[in-house]
């Protein structure tokens, strides 16, 4: 997995609550059997004025000039600022792959849906929960200042504004270490292979019917 | 020490290892796999030269991409969909994983066939790369959706790295009025607590109204726990659970069955268990529900009118409502019963089981689909549900009324196959999500129960199913 340490980047604001994973990556792109190439379809239904096909060809599609990702001032953004319950709905990890492929390294919101939050860590995208008040203040600042950047520091667990205000955020110590080191979760878990086998031996005695199929 | 919740018990029984910060290696008993969220997981295994830990725990089926017309007997025409289905077939063949292929009579929507086969059992942990895995919680199993990286992790290690959620109890007390279904009940819950109301929690549904529900209706309720933000929904095991599972192909037999039934008696929350969050809902006050916006929490009783964002004090929420109404092309104040529909979809992992089809068939019996409606689809949740419905003559009732009777699959719930809405089309749908574009680019979805969808098909607009003979339905 890709490691995450610090990120200093342009912030793009998605000013809507309850952004669902269908909006982040539309269903027709889930037909891919690959893990890459989703970036051009991030927020596809909002980004383009006409529908896109699963072949992924965006040539000839009309872009929606009103949508933030299409505005010149947000080009190259690596931090996404969002409202509450970001990433609700479907479990599709393709939503995180699309953000990652587009170049988003961190998402800041007052709250996230559980499955999306988990999926972020698996692809090296850092989800950051800040208070609703702080997020509201950041929205004001982003909209007011072209080229607005935030600095995200995972070791220190802070988000710092250009004015020097630093906001602390929480992240589980285990997840933090995995993200800092870019660990392969499966490799870590397999270090416990003997404990898994012990558990299975014990359970086979207690609940044998769960091991028949 | 206070007693344990059902969730506490299920969790504790599956802990293999725990880190200091609470991150837990949780053992997984049943891994359901479908074609959309698994190819990258199998590819990851191969790249790392790993093998599945316990193939016997896996049951696979293609459901999202499969066509629902009889043409599929000759294979899938859409090359992109075909590749994804073929990839699952090849992965299952290569690893010796049990799979129901597209034209197997046992094929169907993964969340319908798990319980139908008895592959979902009380006391299990069940995962699938699909958020509606919460469905299986209706059997007193801890079931939740996972991402593709986690699918790979479970394939490789039989475990999931996760943290415990908090406990939430939603009590639905009293008796549901005639014509009010599990779908109305769960939509009313989501309308009350919101799509983030259960975030970070496992919801246990309790109360006399839940005890009175059939297993099919309990599955509908748990299916939509995720639309309230909860990864898992739960209902305690009772006689109905046991009766439903007896004799199913994957269920234990003989002595094992007796032992299992005895063990399942403990799968309920202790009377002195503590829940961090509690909600109580009066079943008797629930009316047939219809969503009006682009989130399942944007829902109202059918007797209501489209709400006015101007009356909402929260600015972010008001803005969200305005966007939703613009997308749905609905003016504030319009009575829901005056909303005309173009298409009707009866199906999905929420509402495609035999009881759902019976309820819808009862409404359409002897009636005709409105000439205003371009397409009305009934898509059974599995080949076995389809066979059962045909044995009861339900397919004839639907066909005579002007519905199309299809082969099993996810169909128009998410338009990854040929069934979809065209831009601007409005649909009465028994599915679970009314997100923008969910049923097709520019499509407008209204979530309802099967009986309400059937009644809307006949009337050409939403109606109160109780005025359509639906009050007799249980």
**Contact between chains at B319 and A114 (C-beta distance less than 8 A):** no
Which of the four pLDDT bands, split at 50, 70 and 90, describes residue A2?
A: confident
* Segment B48-66 mean pLDDT: 97
Cα–Cα distance, B416 to B430 (Å, whole number): 17
Query: pLDDT by residue (tens digit) across A64-93?
Result: 999 999 999 999 999 999 999 999 999 999
Residue B253 above 80 pLDDT? yes
Cα–Cα distance, B242 to A16 (Å, whole number): 45
Q: What is the predicted pLDDT for the residue at A54?
A: 76
> What structural domains does chain A harbor?
6-182 (3.20.19.10)
Given CA atoms B405, B411, B415, B416 in this order, what sign does their dihedral have?
negative
Q: What is the predicted pLDDT for the residue at B380?
A: 98
Q: Which of B56, B124, B149 sits opposite A122 (nearest CB)?
A: B149
Q: B2 versus B332: which is more confidently predicted?
A: B332
Cα–Cα distance, B453 to B378 (Å, whole number): 10
Q: What is the predicted pLDDT for the residue at B11?
A: 98
Tokens, residue B110: 């993964």
> Nearest-CA distance from A9 to chain B in Å?
26
Tokens, residue B241: 């659970």
> Nearest-CA distance from A121 to chain B in Å?
10
> Nearest-CA distance from A158 to chain B in Å?
20
Among chain B residues, CA nearest to A92:
B147
Which of the four pLDDT bands, split at 50, 70 and 90, describes residue B474?
A: low
Which of the four pLDDT bands, split at 50, 70 and 90, describes residue A133?
A: very high
Question: Which candidate in B19, B37, B148, B431 is best for mutational testing of the A interface (most A CBs within 10 A)?
Answer: B148
Cα–Cα distance, A213 to B98 (Å, whole number): 9
Q: Is B398 helix (H, G, I), strand (E, B) or coil?
A: helix
Cα–Cα distance, B26 to B143 (Å, whole number): 12
Mean pLDDT of chain B: 97
**Contact between chains at B195 and A186 (C-beta distance less than 8 A):** no
Q: What is the predicted pLDDT for the residue at B121?
A: 98
Residue B393 above 60 pLDDT? yes
* Segment B282-290 mean pLDDT: 98
Residue B85 above 80 pLDDT? yes
Residue carrying structure tokens 């990864």: B231
* Segment B86-101 mean pLDDT: 98
Tokens, residue B360: 């819808």
Check: CB of residue A96 under 8 Å from CB of residue A120.
yes
Q: What is the predicted pLDDT for the residue at B447?
A: 98
Cα–Cα distance, B133 to B146 (Å, whole number): 9
**CA dist B346 to B309, B343, B390, Å?**
30, 10, 16
**Contact between chains at B40 and A88 (C-beta distance less than 8 A):** no
Residue B473 above 80 pLDDT? no
CB contacts, 8 Å: B295 with chain A: 18, 20
Which of the four pLDDT bands, split at 50, 70 and 90, describes residue B143?
A: very high
Q: Which of B271, B277, B270, B182 is nearest to B221 (CA)?
A: B182
Q: Does B295 touch chain A (CB under 8 A)?
A: yes
**Contact between chains at B165 and A92 (C-beta distance less than 8 A):** no
Q: What is the predicted pLDDT for the residue at B147?
A: 97
Check: CB of residue B205 under 8 Å from CB of residue B228.
no
**What share of chain A in percent tops pLDDT 90?**
92
CB contacts, 8 Å: B433 with chain A: 20, 22, 89-90
> Nearest-CA distance from B397 to chain A in Å?
33
Query: pLDDT by residue (tens digit) across B156-168?
Result: 999 999 999 999 9
**Phi-psi map region of A89: left, alpha, beta (phi>0 left; psi -120 to 50 alpha):** left
> Nearest-CA distance from B390 to chain A in Å?
30
* Segment A10-36 mean pLDDT: 96
CB contacts, 8 Å: B140 with chain A: none
CB contacts, 8 Å: B314 with chain A: none
CA atoms lying within 13 Å on the CB side of residue B191: 21
> Nearest-CA distance from B75 to chain A in Å?
17
* Segment B309-321 mean pLDDT: 95
Q: What is the predicted pLDDT for the residue at A9?
A: 98
Q: A60 versus B396: which is more confidently predicted?
A: B396
* Segment A144-155 mean pLDDT: 98
Q: What is the predicted pLDDT for the residue at B428?
A: 98
Q: Does B256 touch chain A (CB under 8 A)?
A: yes
**Contact between chains at B147 and A122 (C-beta distance less than 8 A):** yes
Q: Which of A202, A200, A206, A207 is nearest to B252 (CA)?
A: A207
Given CA atoms B138, B139, B142, B147 in this order, what sign does their dihedral have?
negative
Which of the four pLDDT bands, split at 50, 70 and 90, describes residue A1?
A: confident
**Contact between chains at B121 and A209 (C-beta distance less than 8 A):** yes
**Contact between chains at B157 and A45 (C-beta distance less than 8 A):** no
Q: What is the ipTM of this complex?
A: 0.96
Q: What is the predicted pLDDT for the residue at B6?
A: 98
Among chain A residues, CA nearest to B152:
A186
Query: pLDDT by residue (tens digit) across B368-391?
Result: 999 999 999 999 999 999 999 999
- What are residue B152's DSSP bridge partners? none
Check: CB of residue A192 under 8 Å from CB of residue B161.
no
**What share of chain A in percent tops pLDDT 70?**
99
User: At residue A60, what are phi and psi to the nearest 5 degrees?
Assistant: 85, -5
Among chain A residues, CA nearest to B153:
A186
Q: Which of B50, B87, B423 sits opposite A33 (nearest CB)?
A: B87
**Contact between chains at B152 and A123 (C-beta distance less than 8 A):** no
Q: What is the predicted pLDDT for the residue at A57?
A: 81
Q: What is the predicted pLDDT for the residue at A55?
A: 74
CB contacts, 8 Å: B242 with chain A: none
CB pairs A-B closer than 8 Å: 201
């Amino acid at each position: 997995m890709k490691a995450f340490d610090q990120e200093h980047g342009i912030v793009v604001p998605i000013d809507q609550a309850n952004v669902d994973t269908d909006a982040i990556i539309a269903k027709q792109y889930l037909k891919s059997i690959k893990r890459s190439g989703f970036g051009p379809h991030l927020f596809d239904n909002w980004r383009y004025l006409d529908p896109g096909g699963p072949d992924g060809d965006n040539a000839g599609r009309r872009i929606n000039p009103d949508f933030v990702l299409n505005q010149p001032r947000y080009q190259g953004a690596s931090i996404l600022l969002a409202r509450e319950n970001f990433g609700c709905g479907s479990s599709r990890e393709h939503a995180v792959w699309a953000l990652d492929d587009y170049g988003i390294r961190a998402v800041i919101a007052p709250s996230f849906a559980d499955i999306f939050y988990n999926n972020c860590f698996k692809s090296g995208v850092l989800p950051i929960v800040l208070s609703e008040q702080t997020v509201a203040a950041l929205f004001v600042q982003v909209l007011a200042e072209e080229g607005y950047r935030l600095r995200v520091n995972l070791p220190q667990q802070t988000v710092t504004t250009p004015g020097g205000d630093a906001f602390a955020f929480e992240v589980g110590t285990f997840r933090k270490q995995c993200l800092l080191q870019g660990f392969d979760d499966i490799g870590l878990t397999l270090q416990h292979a003997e404990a898994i086998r012990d558990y299975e031996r014990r359970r086979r005695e207690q609940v044998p019917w769960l091991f028949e199929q | 020490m206070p007693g344990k919740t059902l969730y506490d018990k299920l969790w504790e029984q599956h802990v293999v290892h725990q880190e200091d910060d609470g991150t837990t290696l949780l053992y997984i008993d049943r891994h359901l796999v479908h074609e959309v969220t698994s190819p990258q997981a199998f590819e990851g295994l191969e790249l790392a030269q790993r093998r599945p830990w316990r193939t016997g725990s896996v049951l696979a089926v293609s459901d999202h991409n499969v066509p629902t017309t009889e043409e599929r007997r000759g294979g899938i025409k859409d090359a992109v969909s075909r590749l994804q289905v073929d990839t699952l077939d090849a992965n299952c063949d290569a690893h010796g994983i049990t799979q129901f292929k597209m034209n197997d009579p046992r094929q169907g929507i993964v969340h319908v066939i798990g319980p139908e086969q008895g592959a979902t059992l009380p006391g299990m942990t069940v995962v699938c790369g699909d958020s509606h895995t919460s469905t299986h919680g209706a059997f007193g199993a801890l079931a939740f959706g996972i991402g593709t990286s986690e699918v790979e992790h479970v394939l490789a290690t039989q475990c999931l790295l996760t943290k415990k959620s908090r406990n939430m109890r939603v009590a639905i007390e009293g008796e549901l009025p005639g014509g009010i279904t599990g779908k109305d009940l769960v939509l009313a819950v989501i309308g009350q607590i919101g799509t983030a109301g259960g975030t970070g929690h496992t919801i246990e549904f309790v109360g006399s109204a839940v005890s009175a529900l059939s297993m099919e209706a309990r599955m509908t309720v748990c299916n939509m726990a995720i639309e309230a933000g909860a990864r898992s929904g739960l209902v305690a095991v009772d006689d109905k659970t046991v009766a439903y599972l007896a004799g199913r192909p994957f269920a234990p037999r003989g002595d094992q069955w007796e032992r299992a039934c005895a063990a399942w008696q403990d799968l309920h929350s202790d009377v002195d268990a503590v829940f961090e969050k509690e909600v109580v809902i009066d079943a008797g006050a629930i009316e047939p529900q219809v969503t009006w916006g682009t989130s399942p929490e944007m829902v109202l009783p059918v007797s209501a009118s489209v709400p006015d964002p101007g009356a909402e004090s929260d600015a972010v929420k008001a803005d969200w409502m305005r966007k939703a109404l613009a997308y749905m092309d609905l003016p504030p104040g319009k009575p829901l019963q005056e909303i005309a529909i173009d298409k009707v979809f009866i199906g999905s992992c929420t509402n495609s089981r035999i009881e759902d089809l019976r309820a819808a068939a009862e409404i359409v019996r002897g009636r005709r689909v409105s000439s205003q409606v371009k397409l009305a689809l009934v898509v059974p949740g599995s080949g076995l549900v389809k066979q059962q419905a045909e044995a009861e003559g339900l397919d004839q009732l639907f066909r005579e009324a002007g519905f199309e009777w299809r082969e099993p699959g996810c169909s128009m719930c998410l338009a990854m196959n040929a069934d979809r809405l065209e831009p601007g089309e409005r649909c009465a749908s028994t599915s679970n999500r009314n997100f923008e574009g969910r049923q097709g680019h520019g499509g407008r979805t209204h979530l309802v129960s099967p009986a309400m969808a059937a009644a809307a098909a006949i009337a050409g607009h939403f109606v109160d199913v109780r005025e359509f003979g639906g009050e007799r339905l249980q």
